[in-house]
Amino acid sequence: MIPFLGPLDVFPPADMAREEMGGLLAVGGGLQPDRLLDAYRRGIFPWGTVDGLPLWYSPDPRMVLFPEEFRLTRSLRKTLRAGKFEVRFDSDFPGVMDACATTPRDGQDGTWITPEMKEAYCRLHELGWAHSVESYEGDTLVGGLYGLAIGRMFYGESMFSRRTDASKVAFAHLVRYLVSNQFGMIDCQMHTDHLASLGAREIPRDAFLTRLSALTAAISARDRWSVAQLDIAW
């Protein structure tokens, strides 16, 4: 039976996740900032709801990208050097979430990004934990991603693209920022061919949790991020 979490209940150990259910670990508990931060530190993330209650997952294996293993292809490098898109950090976090929720995806009907999810992550953004990276064509938002940064760990949540390579350009800037600030790992959650093409790979959950513990213990500033901090000579 999947554990039901009340408002004060703690998460069960990640190794109790039901692999036959995609790594489902628990149901309920709410989306308060402290609850979400505790979940991510434990290698748990919310994905979808049932009857308005969040579903919590910790899959095994875990898809991750080590920043130094990012695969910058020749074609993507050419796009970056051409400066086709203007990249900004933290300039429109709600807009990125809305775009991630509404952009059609192959094999996916609807979205797991509910209004309650958006409210919860926008609150984490206000508190300095959640960040967005945006690709603009003129003044139009055409690609981007969002996620959380805890210590030296980044947790990718979702990305979208309305122009060819727009999300990849945003992701490349994210990786460059993470490398320059000594981040050790990006949590990509579950396997996709798109993430694998960028250099992400699966590792055992135990190995993920061991690395996670050390990386989230590091101290990092919770400020707005800025592209101006980057060396972007591609």
Considering the chain, tell me which residue range(s) the CATH 3.30.70.3550 domain(s) occupy.
4-59
Say which residues have a Cβ less than 8 Å from residue 230's Cβ, sequence separation at least 6: 173, 176, 177, 180
Structure tokens at 115: 């209004």
Q: Which of 84, 76, 81 is nearest to 136 (CA)?
A: 84
Q: Which of 45, 64, 41 is nearest to 55 (CA)?
A: 45
Mean pLDDT, the chain, integer: 94
The domain defined by 63-229 folds into Aminopeptidase (3.40.630)
Structure tokens at 157: 């949540």
DSSP state of 209: H
Q: Which of 31, 8, 12, 167 is nearest to 112 (CA)?
A: 31
**Tens digits of residue pLDDT in 207-229:** 999 999 999 998 776 788 988 76
The secondary structure element, H or E, covering residue 33 is helix 33-41
pLDDT at 26: 99
Contact assessment for residue 185 and residue 66, using Cβ atoms and an 8 Å cutoff: yes
117-131, 150-164, 213-227: which has the minimum mean pLDDT?
213-227
CA distances for 15 relative to 124, 189, 201, angstroms? 27, 15, 20
Cβ atoms < 10 Å from Cβ of 97? 24
pLDDT at 231: 67
Query: Which class is domain 4-59?
Result: alpha beta
Mean pLDDT of 79-102: 97
Distance between CA atoms of residues 65 and 221, nearest Å? 22
pLDDT at 207: 98
**Tens digits of residue pLDDT in 31-43:** 999 999 999 999 9
Q: Which of 198, 89, 72 is nearest to 136 (CA)?
A: 89
pLDDT at 201: 98
Q: How confident is the model at residue 112 (pLDDT cuts 50, 70, 90)?
A: confident
Q: Which of 143, 153, 230 is nearest to 188 (CA)?
A: 153
**Tens digits of residue pLDDT in 194-211:** 999 999 999 999 999 999
